[in-house]
Structure 1
Amino acid sequence: MKKPRHSLRHLAEYSALRAVVFALDLMPLRMALCCGAAMGHAAWALGIRRKVSLINLSLAFPEMSGRDRAAIGARSYANFGRFAVEFARQRRLGRSHIEKHVRVENPEIMKRLGEEGGIGLAFHYGNWELLGVLQSYGGVSTRFLVGRQHNALVDGFVNRLRSVHGIGLISRDGAMREIFRTIRDRGVVAWLSDQDAGRAGVIVDFFGMPASTPRGAAAIAVKLGCPVYPTFMIRERGPFHTAVYTEPILPRRDIPAEQAEVELTRLYTSRLEEMIRRRPDLYWWPHRRWKTTGLYRGREAVREG
């Protein structure tokens, strides 16, 4: 079989990524985190998707001053830079790192997740990738549902980083059979579910305004009758985190399936909103969360980057 040919652009992107990861691996962890925060602040200062972030923050927190919203946005970018550094160094974040740097809030819920299985819902909040590492060393058999990136070289490298600590991967392409099998075997499917889902999504309120939300996790939970566990990884300071496992949500059986999907999506979206209000600087604000429902109309023009 011939090896796939890659474009010069993809080769350049991959080489640059490997060079950055190599450099970060050479640094002490705290120094690398400082570099990540600096890169995040630089991206904010350069205006990279800053306009989108500020509009989103004004929609979510209309009572705040513009200065306070800008401060949250800048901290969000810095925290995302720290997250990116931790993910780039994920091969080094093994059991000893988890035991030293991660505290689990509600460990009994994490244990229940490991025993019963289900859907572990994560969001673009804090270090969501570190949840998989924690669960891998905490006895929770976990498989991440992952999409395919345009650059196959980068895609393969990122997925190798994800799977290095024994985390399984399920491709979104033809994923249903693997998802069903994992959950029926009392495993956990980790699922990101907080971005605009277009016309195919479920419309539920997010910060009091309608937002199109991915349907998949709720549809699977309703079909299988399995619990959904909204989970969060909160950065406290530097490399220290608190993993928050919230009470599982069971899909309702007394209403039609479509209504049950909407109700389940509404409930887990409200959990995310609660956590964002607790620490808004840990959410990734540049995404156009209310794009499908038209809340950007009439505001200053916002373009997807």
Structure 2
Amino acid sequence: MQFLIYILVYPFLWFISKFPFKLLYIISDGFYILLYHIIGYRKKVVTNNLKLVFPQKTEKEIASIRKKFYKHLCDMFLEMAKTMSISEKELNRRFRITNPEEFKRLESLNKSIILIFGHYASWEWSIVLQNYINFKGLAVYKKLANPHFDKLIRDIRSKFNTTLISTKETTSIINQNEAKDVKSIIGFLSDQSPRLSKDVYWGQFMGIDIPCFTGAERIAKKLDLSTAYLKITKVKRGFYEAKIITLAEDSKKYKNYELTDLFLKEVEKQIHEAPEYYFWTHKRWKHKDQSNNFL
């Protein structure tokens, strides 16, 4: 069944990827009408999230952000499909690093770098980062249940020489590289909700207590790696810019969870600047009322 789903979906994605961007965005507009107005995909989740983090905003303001978000979501889905066939030259034109000299400066410290992302703007197109760095590029991802789509995702995201590593193999691979003195830049998406446990860290995100992923920070502190945040902004439809913001050159000098808090504050800033580009369909605040049970 998994292979059947794959062979039905793959030709559609490949066909879509061959479309020019102008036609792609016309299709995206059609998807928006279907997803938002007809299907109403996760509209309740999105609305509840927006009302929770923006209690001061009116119904009209919430509705405006919600509509802009769904338009961006449709664009991003088709841009992901476009990645299957996009050229390196075209992607470099559409996803630009504004301060590549900061990468060079961090690399000059001769330490591997933990690069933390949020689910904001277009993290998928950050695969072009390998063109700006000398270190080995690694990206941590959650393995998909369907092995055929998992391979497809790995192929797409590694087409410009970034290596994907699953969450389960992250620590061992980084330790192996460090033991061999292979310097790397390791990308983590770290703003979503982890499984609850007694030792989970509860921080604040958008003014609300939530459990936080701390794996990136723990690895950075244990191995004394540098830590940075990749701030991705949407310039206009189909065009993005990214800025490297250094959080720590000597991560082990920071108190526990301080780097995680610094990262979340950077994501918050972006959400306040342009909330429509955050990934509101995730149930990021689903455990907000359970903190007392784990503290």
CA distance in 1, matches of 2:14, 2:253: 54
Name the structure 1 match of 2:293. none
Secondary structure, counterpart of 2:242 in structure 1: strand
TM norm structure 2: 0.87
Change (3 A) 1:182 1:33: farther
User: Which stretch has the larger CA shift, 86-95 or 48-57?
Assistant: 86-95
Shift of 1:41: 4.3
Deviation readout 1:147-193 (Å, 9 max, x if unpaired): 11111111111111111111111122232121234465221111110
Name the structure 1 match of 2:204. 205
| Residue 133 (structure 2) pairs with residue 147 (structure 1) | no
Shift of 1:237: 1.5
Query: Number of residues paired by the alignment?
Result: 282
| Residue 220 (structure 2) pairs with residue 221 (structure 1) | yes
CA distance in 2, matches of 1:105, 1:199: 37
Shift of 1:146: 1.6
Secondary structure, counterpart of 1:229 in structure 2: strand
| Residue 137 (structure 2) pairs with residue 138 (structure 1) | no
Shift of 1:18: 0.7
Deviation readout 1:20-69 (Å, 9 max, x if unpaired): 21221231122213323432442222221111111111111111111211
| Residue 263 (structure 2) pairs with residue 264 (structure 1) | no
Partner amino acid, structure 2, of 1:189: I
Do 1:131 and 1:232's aligned partners in 2 also have CA atoms closer than 8 Å? no
Name the structure 2 match of 1:69. 62
| Residue 105 (structure 2) pairs with residue 103 (structure 1) | no
1:1-305 aligned at under 5 Å gives the runs: 8=1, 10-45=2-37, 46-115=39-108, 116-133=111-128, 135-140=129-134, 141-182=136-177, 185-200=182-197, 201-250=200-249, 253=252, 260-294=255-289
Shift of 1:206: 0.6
Change (3 A) 1:25 1:67: same
Do 1:228 and 1:248's aligned partners in 2 also have CA atoms closer than 8 Å? yes
CA distance in 1, matches of 2:231, 2:25: 20
Do 1:145 and 1:170's aligned partners in 2 also have CA atoms closer than 8 Å? yes
Do 2:17 and 2:86's aligned partners in 1 also have CA atoms closer than 8 Å? no
* Structure 1 moving runs of 4+ over 6 Å: none
Change (3 A) 1:68 1:13: farther
Shift of 1:204: 0.8
CA distance in 1, matches of 2:276, 2:3: 34
Do 1:53 and 1:73's aligned partners in 2 also have CA atoms closer than 8 Å? yes
User: Which stretch has the larger CA shift, 188-197 or 284-293?
Assistant: 284-293
CA distance in 2, matches of 1:280, 1:220: 30
Secondary structure, counterpart of 1:92 in structure 2: coil
CA distance in 2, matches of 1:238, 1:106: 21
Deviation readout 1:74-115 (Å, 9 max, x if unpaired): 221221221222221214333311342233233322333454
Q: Percent identity?
A: 23
TM norm structure 1: 0.85
Do 1:33 and 1:86's aligned partners in 2 also have CA atoms closer than 8 Å? no
Do 1:38 and 1:78's aligned partners in 2 also have CA atoms closer than 8 Å? no
Q: What's the Cα RMSD here?
A: 2.1
CA distance in 1, matches of 2:288, 2:275: 22
Name the structure 2 match of 1:302. none
Partner amino acid, structure 2, of 1:228: T
Change (3 A) 1:117 1:33: farther
Change (3 A) 1:253 1:241: closer
CA distance in 2, matches of 1:151, 1:114: 36
Q: Which runs of 5+ in 1 are unaligned?
A: 1-7, 296-305
Change (3 A) 1:251 1:261: farther
CA distance in 1, matches of 2:286, 2:226: 29
